[in-house]
Amino acid sequence: MLFRKALKKSPWIVHYDCNSCNGCDIEILATLTPVYDVERFGIINVGNPKHADILVVSGSVNHRNARVLKTIYEQMPHPKAVVAIGACACSGGIFKECYNTLGGADTVVPVDVYVPGCAPRPEAIMEGILKAAQLLEEKKKNMKKGEILNVAKS
C-alpha cells in the first residue's frame, strides 16, 4: 500500500524528441529549470529509460524514429506511462497527412496523457506529467491482478 502510494510522488521522466521543431523541447526544458522547479513534486529528468517511470514524447512520429520510440518504451520497467507533449505528438499536428509521418505518438506507443498546444506552456506540461503520475498507481493495481494495462486513455 505504502509502496504503491509512493509511485505518484516520484515520477522520473525520460524525454524523447521524435520529430519536433524544438518548440516543445524548449518548453519541456524550461519546465525542468529552477524557475518552475519540478523537483518539488519529485520529478527528475533521468535520461535513462531503465530508471524512468514516464516517457515524455514531443513531435510527430516518422518512419525512422518509430523503432527508437518503441525501443525506449520497451526498456522502461512497469508500471510506466507516456505523455505526449504538443499538437504534433498528440495527433501529428500540421504534419498529420504528410507522406513521411505516421502521425502522433499514439500510433507507436500507448499514450496516457495528451498535452495539446503549440507549444504548450510549462504549467500545462507539469500538470500532464503529474496526471500521468497519478495513473501509475492505478496501473500498479492492475499489474497485481496479472494483466499489464496498456490502454490509451484519451
Decide if residue 63 touches other proteins (CB under 8 A): no
Decide if residue 26 touches other proteins (CB under 8 A): no
Q: How far is the CB of 87 from other proteins (least distance, A)?
A: 27
Residue closer to other proteins, measured from CB, 9 or 121: 9
First-to-final CA distance of the chain: 27
Region binding other proteins by CB under 8 A among candidate stretches 16-24, 62-70, 71-79, 87-95? 71-79
Burial 10-47 (b: 16+ CB within 10 A, else e): ebbbbbbbbbbbebbbebbeebbeeeeebeeeebbbee
Phi/psi of residue 114, each to 5°? -105, 130
User: Which residues 6+ apart lie within 8 Å of 73 measured at CB?
Assistant: 49, 55, 80, 82, 108, 109
Binding mask 111-150 for other proteins (x = CB under 8 A): -----------------------------x--x-------
Classify residue 65 by its DSSP letter: T
Query: In angstroms, rounded to a whole number, what is the distance separating the alpha carbons of residues 19 and 4?
Result: 34
Q: How far is the CB of 23 from other proteins (least distance, A)?
A: 21
Among 17, 26, 30, 46, binds other proteins (CB under 8 A): 46
Q: Which residues bind other proteins (CB under 8 A)?
A: 2-7, 9-10, 34, 37, 39-42, 45-48, 50-51, 53, 75, 77-79, 140, 143
